[in-house]
Structure 1
Amino acid sequence: MPHPMRILHILIALLFSNLVSAQFIKEKAINAQLGYGISVPYNSLDDISDTGFFAQGELVLSAASWVEFRPYAGILITNSDGRDIDGTPTAELAESKAFLIGGKARIRAPIRWVAPYIEAGIGASIGKFETQTFFDSIERSGLIYHLPVSFGLELGRNNNFDLGFMYFFQPTVQQFAGAFTIGVTFPLNN
């Protein structure tokens, strides 16, 4: 079985080389998102949710009114305050300080004013990660793969604004990171 990072490199290369100039792309836009970031360990005794900042930019390539391809780049920074969700002191933590890059596909209901969507893809996180729980003790720096999954609503007459929940599953470091995001889309001239 091929190594996941090789598959990631191939997918990203294909995405950027073929989709940008593809004949089936009908519209192009830029989407900017800001959000409240979180990181959570897969396994812990305490309810841990370390918080921080999230920002991301996407090139929106619309193939149809209901499907879009979205290469993205972003940043996620979360830090532990030494407490669990209830405010009780804990030594468990899940921190991420990473640059994110990858590609995903969005399927959306082509409805004006309120259009629900779901998206998934594959990407890479480049940075420093730490997961300390009763079950795991992981400190890692460098490049790992992640699997992005998002859902939300596109809002407005032309669906230029969105509210969403974005998750990046990072199995290599036994945590997932995510964000509650607010975004705005700017159409590009064709």
Structure 2
Amino acid sequence: MKNTFTLVLLVLTTMVTQAQITKDKSLNVQLGYGISVPYNSITDVADKGVFAQTELVLKVKSWLELRPYAGLIITNSNGKDLNNNPTFEVSETKAFLLGGKARLRAPIPWVAPYLELGIGTSIGSFKTLTAFDAVDKGGIIYHIPLAFGLELGKNNNVDLGFTYFFQPSVKQFAGAIAVGVTFPLNN
């Protein structure tokens, strides 16, 4: 199942990037403050880390973009919850992210809100330890990316947003507040 999913994702990404339905192509690079949070927890735990991602931006319409992506998120537990109290609960992710998503955006200069949704895979190690769940897993899992934010600037080439990767099989979600810059690619 995992190999089939990965193969289908790669084939679809290749087909979309080679298709002539796109008007413009760009590259978006994002860096941010990463977090991972368990689905079920008795304390307010969110483990912190770093997030980096690169997206190939394929503009279909002024309001629709397809975005195959590759990224990295690394979060570690410091043994404390959000109130700085000691906790045994852990939600760690060390993963390479790969997938595709679609961005719906308001084509407004200077401040354009957007919403993204897609499907992808996380490759790495995942640990979710709470009073309700005990997951310590490595390998390939699927995730569902969801993002929202604002494209800023005259040409909307600066991106400020929140991005999340829901990972049901390891009972957690990882995410980030990230800043990105978009660079046009010459044909």
Q: TM-score range by the shorter chain?
A: over 0.9
- C-alpha distance in structure 2 between counterparts of 1:5 and 1:117, whole Å: 32
Contact 2:2 2:141 in 1 (8 A): no
The offset of 1:12, in angstroms, is 3.2
Letter paired with 1:177: A
- Unmatched 5+ stretches in structure 1: none
2:142 to 129, 134, 145: 145
CA deviations over 1:60-108 (Å, ceiling 9, x no partner): 0000100000000010000000001101100001000000000000000
| Residue aligning to 1:12 | 10
Q: Percent identity among equivalent residues? A: 61
Task: Indicate whether 1:176 and 2:157 are aligned.
Answer: no
> 1:96 maps to which residue?
93
Task: Please state how far the C-alpha of 1:6 moved relative to its aligned partner.
Answer: 3.0
Superposition deviation, residue 133 in structure 1:
0.1
Give the CA RMSD over aligned residues.
Answer: 1.1
Contact 1:37-1:76 within 8 A present in 2 as well: yes
**Is the CA contact (8 Å cut-off) linking 1:12 and 1:103 kept in structure 2?**
no
Q: Structure 2 regions of 5+ residues with no counterpart?
A: none
SS at match of 2:70: strand
Q: Give the partner amino acid of 1:15.
A: T
Map Cα deviations across residues 10-44 of structure 1 (whole Å, 9 max, x no partner): 1331122x111212110000000000000000001
Contact 2:59 / 2:65 at 8 angstroms: preserved in 1?
yes
Which residue identity lines up with residue 187 of structure 1 in the other structure? P
Aligned residue pairs total 187
Partner Cα distance (1:128, 1:166) in 2: 20
**Secondary structure in structure 1 of the residue aligned to 2:84:** coil
1:160 aligns with 157
Tell me by how many angstroms 1:167 deviates.
0.2
SS at match of 2:9: helix
Secondary structure in structure 1 of the residue aligned to 2:4 = helix
The answer as to 2:123 corresponding to 1:126 is: yes
Q: Secondary structure at the match of 2:10?
A: helix
1:112 equivalent in alignment to 2:109: yes
Aligned partner of 1:6: which letter?
Answer: T
| Distance in structure 1 (CA, Å) of the matches to 2:9 and 2:72 | 20
